[in-house]
Structure 1
Amino acid sequence: MTQIVATTPGLFPLPDWAKDELSDLKGHQKTDLISGDEGGEIVDAYDRAREEVISLQQDAGLDRVVEGQLRWDDMLAHPLAVHDSVETRGIVRYYDNNNFYREPVVQDDLTADGDVAAELDAAAELVDDGLQAVLPGPYSLADLATDDYYGDEAAFLDAIAEFLAGEVEQFPDVETLFLLEPSLVENDPDDGTDERASEAIDAVANATDADVVTHTYWGPIEEKTYAHLMDADVDAIGFDLVSDHDSNVYNVQEYGTKDDVALGVVDGQNTLVESPETIRDRIDWFEQQTNTVYDTVYATANTELFYLPVNKFADKLESLANAADLEEVEA
């Protein structure tokens, strides 16, 4: 019998009050600052916002609760954008949408700085069980950044993986780690790099005892890249069924997948709220098409959720949780 686990890939929208308060405190649009350099009032605002989004997930009944990544104005580039060895330069388009981030240019040795771990430590005080960590996958983080230090693409990817693994080693106990890898779709690695990307993911996954999900989105992964990703020691691979369900199913039909799977069954960029029944139908369809009963299905949004208005974001969390409850009722 499949266990349905309701969760998200994180990167939540800031509560409306927090947007206003942080804008007033900083005197301009909210921008990320290195933890510790933020003023006390700013830290307090983020703390209260974190408490709010964690309570929202708990009240909705999600099986996995994330910290929310509310400080991540640079989205997946955040862990580098706040690092002492990185200079943030001009504004760059975040993949092919209307969001932007500051280009992180690596200029010195990357060592784990504990920024994400500190956020998780704060979240762990509010979550008794079911805490889930969120990180950019190493290939996507390397893709979003510019190397001005290591001088070699392979060495840079290895350094990013080592940096993320070091960060993971500082995490408190978490049940699940979501590694977000949209660049595997958006900037398909060429021959050789696809294998190195899989090895980099493997290096990060091996830094934790938690269940690791490599979540991909905005389309299907190219076949050769997917075949290499299957070699990574992760517990589940994520598929964006919202963007392209047929091609994602084809990869699984041709190459198989892990015993667990993450399914992007809620649109993280559209305000239409899916019903629990629709979510369950999408999960059931995937199992039927791949002729597999999975040990665990992580039912999740296909993308990060910062694109959504707060009220629609909250409604989608409830739908995900209620879809998992439907499984329990029908079992």
Structure 2
Amino acid sequence: MTDYVSTTPGLYPLPDWAKDDLSDLKGHQKHDLISGDESEEITAAYEEAREEVIGVQQDADLDRIVEGQLRWDDMLAHPLAVHDAVETRGIVRYYDNNNFYREPVVQDDLGFSGDVANELEAAAELLEADDDLQAVLPGPYSLADLATDEQYGDEAEFLGAIADFLEGEVDAFPEHETLFLLEPSLVESAPEDGLDERASEAIDQVAGATDADVVVQPYWGALEEKVYAHLLDADIDAVGFDFVAEQDDNLYNIQEYGATDDVSLGLADGQNTLVEDPEAIRDRVEWVYDQLPVAEFETVYLTTNTETFYLPSGKFEAKLEILAEAAALAEVKAA
């Protein structure tokens, strides 16, 4: 029988009070530099905000609990932006939306950082006995795509260095049930011939650093056919599909090339304030099943199609609740 798991890709909005407090603490600098050695006041504010968003997930009864990535001012570029081998430069548009990040320029060999592992350790201390931790990272292709290389000198070598770096970071993570690798660049800046295979190999390398279930979550559309076919060669547990932004091409990929044993369905809109109905989300799951030749997936992750960073706090909390309710409804119907 299929196991329905409610979760999110992380990258949560800050609670309203934290936005105000942190803005004051950072001197009202919108793009304040997060360097990993914040003041005690800033550290305390992030710790309180982390505890709050973990509590929100617990109250919603989500099946997987993420740390929230509230410190990630640079969005998916964060693990590099706080790295000692990286210089952050000017502000760059985050894909095609109205959010921005500081350009991370790699100027030395990428050694171990441990920044994300430290966040996960702090999150793990807040979990209850029956909670399952989910780690969140940028996938190696997306992280390489968002960065600038001034050290390695070759696109393939740079992607390999990013994969080595992320592999080392994952190896230091505390025990976690699931790892979501976020790969919007596989859609937004699709790799060309040759690099698509290397991107799959890089993902496979990072996935191999954990015993947890690994979900590769592209979004803002559907993968090109060759990119999707190569991604299936990676030793991962699930591929994610953004059924909010694109239905037909995502269905075509599964129908034409098959799928992993597990699947992640982005069925709630992570950027729109309209709060879906849990029954509607469950019906969308059934609709996807009706279009596919796959008899049954072992695990179906129900999630927002993108990070929820863009949502107001109240809408964000409501989205978590409907995902948990939709997963519970799907379980009942499947039984």
Q: Greater CA deviation, 126-135 or 89-98? A: 126-135
Hey, what's the Cα distance between the residues in 2 that align with 1:199 and 1:170? 21
Within a 5 Å distance, the mapping from 1:220-299 to structure 2 comes to: 220-292=222-294, 293-299=296-302
The answer for the alignment partner of 2:160 in structure 1 is: 158
Counterpart in the other structure of 1:81? 81
Cα contact 1:79–1:116 (8 A) shared by 2: yes
Cα distance in 1 for residues equivalent to 2:225 and 2:4 = 27
| Alignment counterpart, residue 306 of structure 1, candidates 302, 309, 329 | 309
Counterpart residue type for residue 281 of structure 2: I
Distance in 2 separating the partners of 1:170 and 1:8: 22
Q: Distance in 1 between matches of 2:163 and 2:15?
A: 32
Cα distance in 1 for partners of 2:120, 2:197 equals 30
| CA offsets 1:208-266 (integer angstroms, 9 cap, x no match) | 00000000111110001110000000000000000011110100000001010001000
Q: How far apart, in 2, do the equivalents of 1:284 and 1:65 lie? A: 25
Give the conservation status (yes or no) of the 8 Å contact 1:217–1:240.
Answer: yes
What TM-score, normalized to structure 2?
0.97
1:116 maps to 2:116: yes
CA contact (8 A) 1:89 1:103 kept: yes
Match of 2:65 in 1: 65
What residue ranges of structure 1 are gaps of 5+ in the alignment? Answer: none
Answering whether residue 132 of structure 2 is matched by residue 130 of structure 1, we say yes
For 1:62 and 1:288, locate their aligned partners in 2 and report how far apart those are by CA, in whole Å: 26
Equivalence for 2:326: 323
| CA shift digits 1:135-170 (9 cap, x unpaired) | 000000000000000000000000000000000000
Q: Distance in 2 between matches of 1:287 and 1:39?
A: 50
Query: What's the CA shift for 1:112?
Result: 1.8
Amino acid at match of 2:207: A
- Give 1:22's aligned residue: 22
- When residues 253 and 217 of structure 1 are mapped into structure 2, their CA distance, relative to the original with a 3 A threshold, is same
The DSSP-based 3-state class of the residue aligned with 1:55 is: helix
Deviation, 1:3, is 1.0
Map residues 165-244 of structure 1 onto 2, 5 A cutoff.
165-244=167-246
Q: Tell me, what secondary structure is at the counterpart of 1:291?
A: coil
- Is the partner of 1:132 in helix, strand or coil? strand
Provide the TM-score with structure 1 as the length reference: 0.98
Contact 1:3–1:297 (CA under 8 A) maintained in structure 2? yes
CA positional deviation for 1:29: 3.2
What is the Cα deviation at residue 32 of structure 1?
4.5
* Equivalent residues of 2:34, 2:73 under 8 A apart: no
Q: Supply the RMSD in Å over aligned alpha carbons.
A: 0.8
- How do 1:97-108 and structure 2 match up within 5 A? 97-108=97-108
How far off is 1:278 after superposition? 1.0
- CA deviations over 1:160-208 (Å, ceiling 9, x no partner): 0000000000000000000000000000100000000000000000000
CA distance in 2, matches of 1:250, 1:329: 29
Taking only the aligned residue pairs, the percentage that are identical comes to 72
The 1-side partners of 2:51 and 2:33 are apart by 19
- Letter in structure 1 aligned against 2:307: E
Alignment CA distance shift 1:183-1:54 (3 Å): same
Letter in 1 for 2:326: A
